[in-house]
Amino acid sequence: MLDCKKAYELICEAINRKDKSNEFETIFVQNKIDKTDINDDNIKTKEVKQEDNYVEVKRFAENFYKAPIVNYKGYLKGATQEDKNRYSEVISSILLSKDLLKSWKELAPVRSNHFDTKHASSESVDMEQLQGTNRKEEILAKLLFYQREVSGLGHIFDYQTPLKKTKNDSYGKIDLLGYNSKDKCYSIIELKYHPSGSEETLLRCVLEAYTYYKLFDLNQIESAQDHKGINELRALNDYKHTKNAELVILFDEKSRAKDDGGENSNLMLRIDLQNKDKANKVNKANKEIYPSKTVESQQHKECKELLDSDKRNSLRTLCDKILEQEPKLKQIRFVVLRVDTESESNYPTNIKGWSRKLDRLYRAETLLTIPSKG
């Protein structure tokens, strides 16, 4: 199998962007794997050259989703505007035709305890403090965690689940962990949200979710002792521990202007905290703010195309191959998050300052499920 640099250069050449090969150092080298992380049994049974190749292959798989080219939209420069010439389609095709997707099979969890964060859905929260950051996606993840049961999505039992073993590891965090009682599997949820419309491609979303799945030890859900979210999950009547999981790409449909229905459909209304004046920040956090124009998220645009059997064929095939090489993955779901305007439920009392006028309850709608054929 190709080493990390050659694999990346091959993809850059395929999309007619050899100039982007110079980004290799930024994306991959700073996160070069320590060979001491390689399983001892592997070291004993493989030659040094094979060990080096293992490291290179693993390094490619765990970092590739972060490459800027994975987020390119539109068509290859100089190519006709056909579906097969989209950046994401060509990259998906190369990952398949050159067997690069097999690199992900080399990934394995490295963190001994994913659940040492003490996250609790009943913890005391102040809404103004919660809103005191521009990381709106992270705020939304917390709100979904505090809601716990999200119709159409499942029971959320953790958020921002860590994957790193050391500070130098390049891995991020799983946005949300859920349990899908209908399909009897855990949900590795990749949440995408931005008040003015998320711009990340579905290719980026799928590869990120898949990478995190490979770096997450599902068995730790069963062995965890002091995590309140997991304890609450175990108390559910329809819960049963399983080895199966699904990847869920969860996204907004549109961020709407006020005159286009934003008051009833926008996922968050307390969105503008750019003002540096602290008093004004508090004031803005307590009033509804709307984008100046309606913007559809990139994920929703691409999901509509993925539903069309004549478009995004390589991305769909990539999803099929991911499921084929992961027997414990039941499906990949593409899910739009919506405001639950019909719910009359009270929001958890642990959130001080929660307002039915400014804040939301949520539900989800699955637009597309790609099932495992195994």
| pLDDT one-digit tens code per residue, 241-250 | 999 999 999 9
Structure tokens at 113: 């305890």
Rg over alpha carbons for the chain, rounded to the nearest Å, is: 21
Residue 301 makes CB contacts below 8 A (sequence gap 6+) with none
Q: Classify residue 189 as left (phi > 0), alpha (psi -120 to 50) or beta.
A: beta
Q: Residue 40 forms beta bridges with which residues? A: none
Mean pLDDT of 231-240: 95
Length of the chain: 374
pLDDT classification of 129: cutoffs 50, 70, 90: confident
pTM, 2 dp? 0.91
Task: Give per-residue pLDDT as tens, 133-149.
Answer: 778 999 999 999 999 99
At 53 the pLDDT is 64
Find the helix or strand (DSSP H, E) in which 362 lies: strand 362-371
Closest CA to 118 of 8, 226, 233: 226
Per-residue confidence (pLDDT) for residue 33, from 0 to 100: 46
What pLDDT is attached to residue 286?
65
Pairing of strands 254-255, 295-296: antiparallel
**What share of the chain has pLDDT > 90, as a percent?**
69
The pLDDT of residue 35: 47
Is residue 40 classed exposed, middle or buried when 0-12, 13-18 and 19+ CB atoms within 10 A define those classes?
exposed
Better-scored residue on pLDDT, 126 or 319? 319
pLDDT for 30 beyond 70: no
Do residues 317 and 89 lie in contact, with contact meaning Cβ atoms separated by under 8 Å?
Answer: no
131/263: higher pLDDT: 263
Q: Mind listing the pLDDT tens digit for each residue in 192-214? A: 999 888 999 999 999 999 999 99
The sign of the CA dihedral 255, 257, 262, 267 is: positive
Tokens of 247: 């990847």
pLDDT at residue 75 greater than cutoff 70 = yes
Q: Calculate what percentage of the chain has a pLDDT beyond 70.
A: 88
Q: Given the structure tokens 């994920």, which residue do they identify? A: 299
Q: d(Cα 85, Cα 18) in Å, to the nearest integer? A: 16
CB 154 within 8 A of CB 333: no
The partner residues of 158 in beta bridges, in order of sequence, read 177
Q: CA triplet 169, 175, 180: central angle to 5 degrees?
A: 125
Q: Do 31 and 59 meet the contact criterion of CB atoms below 8 Å apart? A: yes
Nearest Cα residue to 74 out of 93, 60, 94, 90: 90
Enter the tokens of residue 69. 């080219």
Averaged pLDDT, 96-110:
96
Residues 201, 88 contacting (CB under 8 angstroms): yes
Confidence of residue 277 (pLDDT cuts 50, 70, 90): very low
pLDDT band at 284 (very low <50, low <70, confident <90, very high): low
Please report, in angstroms and rounded to a whole number, the separation of the first and last CA atoms in the chain. Answer: 25
252 within 8 A of 196, measured Cβ to Cβ: no
Instruction: Give yes or no for a contact between 15 and 71, defined as CB atoms under 8 angstroms apart.
Output: no
Q: Is the pLDDT of residue 40 over 70?
A: no
Question: C-alpha dihedral over 307, 308, 313, 317, to 10 degrees?
Answer: 30
In this structure, what token pair is assigned to residue 152?
């159409």
pLDDT band at residue 118 using 50, 70 and 90 as cut-offs: confident
pLDDT of res. 344: 67
Highest mean pLDDT among 122-126, 269-273, 311-315, 340-344: 311-315
pLDDT grade, residue 355 (50/70/90)? confident
Most confident range (mean pLDDT) of 29-38, 268-277, 282-291, 326-335 is: 326-335
Per-residue model confidence (pLDDT) at position 46 = 45
Where does the pLDDT of residue 125 fall: very low under 50, low under 70, confident under 90, or very high at 90 and above?
confident
- Average pLDDT across the chain, whole number: 88
- Say if residue 51 is exposed, middle or buried (CB neighbours under 10 Å; 0-12, 13-18, 19+): middle
Burial 233-272 (b: 16+ CB within 10 A, else e): beeeeeeeebebbbbbbbbbbbbbeeeeebeebbbbbbbb
Domain spans of the chain, in order of start: 4-106, 125-371
Q: Residue 216, Cα to own-chain centre: how many angstroms?
A: 13
Task: Read off the pLDDT of residues 145-191 as tens digits, 9 standing for 90 and up.
Answer: 999 999 999 999 999 999 999 888 888 899 999 999 999 999 999 99
Residues 6+ apart with CB under 8 A from 76: 15, 16, 85, 86, 87, 90
Q: What single-letter DSSP state applies at residue 86?
A: B
Mean pLDDT of 251-260: 96
* Rounded Cα gap, residues 7 and 194, in angstroms: 32
